[in-house]
Structure formats: structure tokens, C-alpha cells
Structure 1
Amino acid sequence: MPVFRLPLERLASLGALLVLWLVAAELTGDPTVLPAPWEMVAPAAKELASGALPFHLGMTLWRVAWSFCLAMALGGLIGFAMGRSERVDRWLDPWLVIFLNLPALVLIVLCYLWIGLNETAAIAAVVLNKIPNVAALIREGARALDPQVDAMARVYRLSPLTRLRHILLPQLAPFITAAARSGLAVIWKIVLVVEFLGRSNGIGFQIHLHFQQFDVAMVLVYAFSFILVMLAVEGLVLQPVERRVRRWRAA
């Protein structure tokens, strides 16, 4: 029963949001302030036909993919080292606290000032913003590793690859998936800010352009195009992976 209820609940929730949008658009009574959903079809079709929407969407997705992979890899290594070594944790914990509380906007501006208005600065700004969050989550996972299972691996002299595959990763999987899901949600928002401030393409750049022209419909077209892609990634990739890695706990 729950398997069939969940999609219906999601559809009902999205339907309620659509109704709220329609009511707000009707109360506003001005398409230049808040257009109704059907008033965005023509602008969206025009952007698709011209190729502008696929191009800018692709550039944003490219930056998100690079930033996500780098942040997960570096943050995972740092967090694991901090969780397994008290000395490393004592050294790096002050850094982690500082970067966790450093505003994203400050890092973005500093990267652009120090590196320049280029792709390297854009990716670096996003990665530096996300590494502390990933490290904090993976550190907790590394601290929660079962020492008895680790001792068993040493007794049976398991190879490092076998220990990684059958002992470390299954225990760290919930923390990795949590970091991935929260990381993706945060990263794409930071990427939009990075593009808004200093890139000449991407969804953030287009939102900035149409913001200057007070074109609410086009701002919504580009915003929703990326939101739909992220919802698809969440539903088709991240949630199935999370269910798979948690399956062993219910066995």
C-alpha cells in the first residue's frame, strides 16, 4: 500500500502548489508580476526552439557535476581522516568550524577577486562552500564505525579493497548518501549565485539578465527548467541509490 500512496501524495502536493500559484496569479491580476502557468508556455517554447535554454541549462549542469564530484571526493577524504584520527580532528576542526560559518557569498567574491572571472574560480567557490558540510557528515560516519567489525577484518587479514567494499562502505553509505543529497541541493543553488555574479552563461546568468529586464516570466522559465532537472535527478538517481544502500539494514 505505501508503495502506491507515495506517488499519489507527491502528485497531490504538487497539485496543491499549482492551485496556490493559480490563486496568487489571479489575485495579482498582472502577468508582469506573476504570470499564470500557461502564460509561460510560449516563452519556454521560444527558448527551447532557439537552443538558448538547452545551452544554458547544460552549462549549469556541467558546473554542478564538477563541483559535486570534487566536493564529495575531497570532503569525504577529509571527513574520514578526521573521524578516524583524533590528532587530525584536533588540527582540522577549527578550520571546519570557520568554513562552515563563512558566508557563501564571501567565498564566491574572494575567489573571483583572487583567481579571476573564469571557470576555475567559479568551480573553486562552489567546492570550497560545500567541502565543510560533506566533511562534517562523513566525520560522524567514520566515528560511528563498529570497532568489532574492524577487529574481525584484521583477524581474517582482509585486503584493503575487501575491507573498503564489504566493511567501510556499507557502514558509511547512509552518511555518504545524506551528504550527496544535501550536497546536490546546496551546490546547484550556489552555482546559480556564482553564475549570477560572474559568468556569461548558465541559468544564473540568464536569471540575472532577465531580472535586469524585469521579465518575471523568463526568470521563472529558467528557474523551473533547472528545478525540474534536479527533481528528476533526486527521484530517479539519489532516492533509488539511498534505498539500495539502506536495504542491508532491513535484512
Structure 2
Amino acid sequence: MARSIPSEPSEHLQLMIAGYVLGDLDADEAIEFERLLTADPALAAEVAQMQNALEMAYAPAEVKPPSHLRSAIMAAQAMETNPRRSSRPAVTRSVRRFPWNQALGAAAAVVIAALAINNYQLRQALQATQTETPSETLTYVLQTETVEDASATVVVNPVTLEATLTVRNLPPLPPGQVYVLWTVLEQGAPFTVDDKSAILTEVLNVDAQGNAFQTLIVPKVYRSEELVSRVAITVEDAAAPQRHEGAPVMITSL
């Protein structure tokens, strides 16, 4: 039994009708809409109404003059053919008036429908992008077996790539040395890394008590969480921390 559509089609269905009339549906959408059109005769009326609106914008219907005006036009035409038959003044032939209001209204309806389709497609693209990018924060807890009571936590927003780093009770370092935060990647990850598969992420500013709280921007790899293997802290030469010569003093567990 054919399924009837509601008296007022949903926004999605209205957009599909407009897209079908304008030829703006992709292959899958066109197949789906034609299936709905076959199953529901009432839907054909909606399509016809939209098609009529589009046709009116470019080919308005001819307007016939009233019967009394038509007689006057015919009489005037006869006088032009044989002016001696009548001494009455010539009647100017009526010019058909273009129904501008009707045509402009139909054109506006078509334009609005096209804009609605574009907005709907943009919303779908935005939703797809938001689905691909994780929206929840990522938390990395670094552990150590060599420094008693030391702790470190990195909380990352994968959308904005903003992160907060909290460090507690790291031993103060002698002059010329610094703590460095590293992001270690899985083998084969499509990012530039050093010979230890790591990216220098931040040089830490630890106070005299071994504490630090910093806001930083992390590498784009954090938008693909599965590519981050470890997060670690090492001690490096302050003049060249990028050499990555120190062993981890804190690191995330596997």
C-alpha cells in the first residue's frame, strides 16, 4: 500500500523535492527520491508545484484580454486594414502586461529552495567533519619509578590542539639543563620525527619546588590519537634540547 506523506513535508523532504526539480541531487539521492515518488503519489503533486514555480519564472502564461477589450482590438485592426470604412479614431492595440509579481515570486521560491539545499549540504559536511575529529579531551598521565611523589598530566583538546601540562615534585635541575616534553609516535606515522620517533613538544619551566603548570599547543598528530605511542619527559641540554639525548624520567604506560 502506498505511503502518504504528511500535509506539510519535512524540511529534509522539501529539500529533496527542490533538489530533484533543480537537478541538484547526487545519484544515490536521486534513486532514493524516485523510490519515494513511486511509492507515494501525493509526492508527485509537490514536485509538480515546484516545477510550475520554476517554469513560471522563465515562461509566464499568456494573459488574454477581457472580451470587451478584445472586440475593441479587433475593430482597431480592421480599421488599420481599411481606414476608409470608418471615421472612428484608431484604437491602440493593447500590450500584454508581463506578470512581474507572479514571476518574481516564483523565481524567489526557486532561489530560496536552492539556498536551502546548499545550507543543508554544508550542515552535513560540518557534521561529518565534527564526527571525524574527536571532541572529548585526551588525558595522558606520566609515571616514574625513579622520582618519589613526582607526577605529570597532559590534557589535550584535539580540536583546538590546546593542552595543559601539570607537573609536581620533579627534582630541580642544575644550570644548563631543562626538562623537555616529548610526543612519541607509532612507527610509520606520517609526521616528521627524530631518530627516536619523537616530536619535541615543550621545554618545561619548573620552579624551585619542581612544579609547573603550562598551557601549550601540541602537534597535529593528537587529532589522530591512535598514532600517539607515548608521552615522555626527559632531561636535556638547555642549549640544544632538540638533540633528545636524555632517557625518560617520566613516561606514559603502554
Q: Common fold, TM-score beyond 0.5?
A: no
Higher relative contact order (CA 8 A, sep 6+): 1
Structure 1 or 2: larger strand share? 2
Structure 1 or 2: larger helix share? 1
TM range (shorter): under 0.3
Higher gyration radius (CA): 2
TM-score normalized by the length of structure 1: 0.26
TM-score normalized by the length of structure 2: 0.25
